Amino acid sequence: MLTASSESWERRLGVELGKSVVYQEANRETRVDVKESVRGQDIFIIQTIPRDVNTAIMELLIMAYALKTSCAKNIIGVIPYFPYSKQCKMRKRGSIVCKLLASMLAKAGLTHIITMDLHQKEIQGFFSFPVDNLRASPFLIQYIQEEIPDYRNAIIVAKSPSAAKRAQSYAERLRLGLAVIHGEAQCSESDMADGRHSPPSSRTTTGHTGLELPLMMAKEKPPITVVGDVGGRIAIIVDDIIDDVEDFVAAAEILKERGAYKIYIMATHGLLSAEAPRLIEESAIDEVVVTNTVPHEVQKLQCPKIKTVDVSMILAEAIRRIHNGESMAYLFRNIAVDD
C-alpha cells in the first residue's frame, strides 16, 4: 500500500493510494490518522520535502510510527530529496544533523529508504537499515543529448574543485571536454573550518611546559581561474543541489567572460530558495534544468528559464521491485561511483 498525495503513483504502479489523513491541529501539532488496516503489509510512504522542511520531517516520523504501531510488515520511506544532507560533517561545535535524522527515522519504524543523489554517498552509512540511493544522471544526460542543440560543441564545467568528480563522470559519458572553476568565487565545503580554534592553555604545571603546536598558515584562495578552454563552447555546469544561486551566477559570468556563448546548469535537486528565480532570470544563465525530486512549480512561474526532468519512473520501478523482492541491479546498470 502507498501513502502519499500524488495521483501519478497510482497510474504508474496500478495501485490505489492508502487512506490516511495528515493535518495540523490549532496548536500546530501534527496528527496522523490511518483509515484502513495495514497489518502485515508493505507500506511505502512517499514524502517530498516542501519549503517547510521540519514540518515534513515530523509528518514522516509520525506517519511511520503510526504504521509501526499498527503492525505493518515493512515501512519504506520514499524520500527523493533527503533533507539535512548537507549537514553530514562536523563543523566546529555543531553536530552531524544528518546522522541524527537517520537515527530518528529508524526509531520511528522505517525499515528501508529509497532516495536519490545523496549529497555525500557516505551518508548511507548513517542508517541501520538498507538505503537505495538512485541516480538522476541518466535522465539529465538524456536531456542534454535530446534538448540541447549542438551539444557536441559543449563542455562540462565543475563550479568548484570539489564538484570535479561528478563533472568528469558526465564528460566521460557524453564524450565531452571538462573545465573546472577555481578561485575565490567558489566556496568549497572542504575549505570550511571543521576544527576548534580554542587555543591551548598557556599555564604550566610542575615539570611540564605549556603546549606548543605548529602554526598552520591560513588558506588564501587564488584569483578566480577557469582550468579548461570554454571559448566558443556551450558550458554545462553540473551539480547535485541548486539552492542559493549566487555561486552559479558568478560562475556563469566568468564563463561568459571566457567566451562561452551559452550556459546551462544541470542539477538533481532544485531547492531554489529565497530570491533564486529572480537572480537566475537576471543572470547570464540560459537555462536551469532540475528534476522533480522537490516541488518547484512556483519558481517555474517566476522564471521561465527553469526546466524540469521527470524522474518518477525510476522511483516507481524501485517501489515495484522492492515490493516483489526483485533485484535492484537493473536500476544501477552502468552507474559509476562518481555519478
Instruction: Name the grid cell of 332.
Output: 544501477
Q: Which residues pair with 21 in a beta bridge?
A: 33
Taking only the tens place, the pLDDT of each residue in 205-252 is 455 556 677 877 777 777 778 999 999 999 999 999 999 899 999 999
Q: Closest Cα partner for 123 from 144, 105, 142, 150?
A: 105
* Number of structural domains found in the chain: 2
Report the distance separating Cα 146 and Cα 143, nearest Å: 5
Report the distance separating Cα 164 and Cα 1, nearest Å: 41
Query: Is 315 among the domain residues?
Result: no
CATH of the domain at 286: 3.40.50.2020
Side by side, the strands of the sheet bearing 234-242 are 225-227, 177-182, 154-158, 234-242, 262-270, 287-291, 306-309
Query: Is 300 among the domain residues?
Result: yes
This prediction's pTM: 0.86
280 and 181 together in one domain: yes
Mean pLDDT of the chain: 88
173 and 89 together in one domain: no
Instruction: Name the grid cell of 204.
Output: 604550566
| 204 or 227: which leads in pLDDT | 227
229 and 258 together in one domain: yes
Last residue of one domain, picked from the residues 73, 102, 134: 134
DSSP state of 212: -
32 and 72 together in one domain: yes
Taking only the tens place, the pLDDT of each residue in 244-302 is 899 999 999 999 999 999 999 999 999 998 899 999 999 999 999 999 999 999 999 99
Q: Which residues, at least 6 apart from 64, have a Cβ–Cβ distance to it below 8 Å?
A: 45, 75, 77, 105, 108, 109, 110
Report the distance separating Cα 267 and Cα 136, nearest Å: 9
Taking only the tens place, the pLDDT of each residue in 22-41 is 999 999 999 999 999 999 99
142 and 16 together in one domain: no
Instruction: Name the grid cell of 209.
Output: 611546559
Query: Is 194 among the domain residues?
Result: no
- pLDDT number for residue 7: 60
Please give the backbone phi and psi of residue 270, each rounded to the nearest 5 degrees, phi first.
Answer: -100, 80
Q: Which residues pair with 266 in a beta bridge?
A: 238, 289
172 and 67 together in one domain: no
112 pLDDT higher than 70: yes
55 and 159 together in one domain: no
**Dihedral over alpha carbons 184, 192, 165, 296 (to 10 degrees):** -90
> Which range (125-129, 159-163, 278-282) has the least confidence?
159-163
Asked whether the beta carbons of 209 and 86 are under 8 A apart, the reply is: no
62 and 152 together in one domain: no
- pLDDT number for residue 167: 95
Range of the domain at 81: 6-134
292 and 152 together in one domain: yes
258 and 149 together in one domain: yes
Alpha helices in the chain (DSSP H): 8-13, 53-69, 97-108, 137-147, 164-174, 246-257, 276-281, 297-302, 312-324
Asked whether the beta carbons of 114 and 78 are under 8 A apart, the reply is: yes
| 69 or 50: which leads in pLDDT | 69
Query: Is 301 among the domain residues?
Result: yes
- pLDDT number for residue 188: 47
189 pLDDT higher than 80: no
129 and 145 together in one domain: no
pLDDT (average), residues 161-166: 90
193 pLDDT higher than 70: no
